[in-house]
Amino acid sequence: MHIRVELDKATLKQLLAEMLPITIVLDEAQGLDGSCVTIDPVRELQFGADESIRLITSGALRWIVGFLPVTMRVERLVLVVRPTVVGTGASSRLLFRPMIEEADLRYLPALLDRGLVGLVKWRPRSTK
């Protein structure tokens, strides 16, 4: 059995507008209080010759360092989504696996630099 589905760009944009923004939990034990990725609404949509869809958006990454949540904005996030059929027969499923092609994390080095400088500057002196 073969099923063929065709979506025009406007319909796909509408579907994505209903799904996004979305927050993906990375640590099920902590839920929304733990590490997660947020994907903002799509700014641009491109179709690839290999049946891929390229979503250009922004987002945020949050992870827990010790007990403190650290959140960083991602100003430009490019996700490539390719359809993949998994399984055979009645148990087959169509999956869309996103892969990060580009993430603008240019502020990460400055954030780490400030954190390291702060640790060195405020480190208590040894009395020995």
Could you state, in chain order, the average pLDDT of each consecutive group of 10 residues for the chain (128 residues)? Answer: 78 91 88 87 92 92 84 89 86 84 70 47 42
Q: What are phi and psi of 9, to 5 degrees?
A: -60, -40
What pLDDT was estimated at residue 89? 85
What pLDDT was estimated at residue 113? 45
In a domain, 126, yes or no: no
Q: Write out the residue range of the structural domain in which residue 87 sits.
A: 9-121
Separation between Cα atoms, residue 101 and residue 77, nearest integer Å:
8
Q: How many domains does the chain have?
A: 1
Pairing of strands 36-39, 53-65: antiparallel
In a domain, 128, yes or no: no
Contacts of 50 (CB under 8 A, 6+ apart): 82
In a domain, 44, yes or no: yes
What pLDDT was estimated at residue 124? 40
What pLDDT was estimated at residue 20? 93
- The one-letter amino acid code at 49 reads A
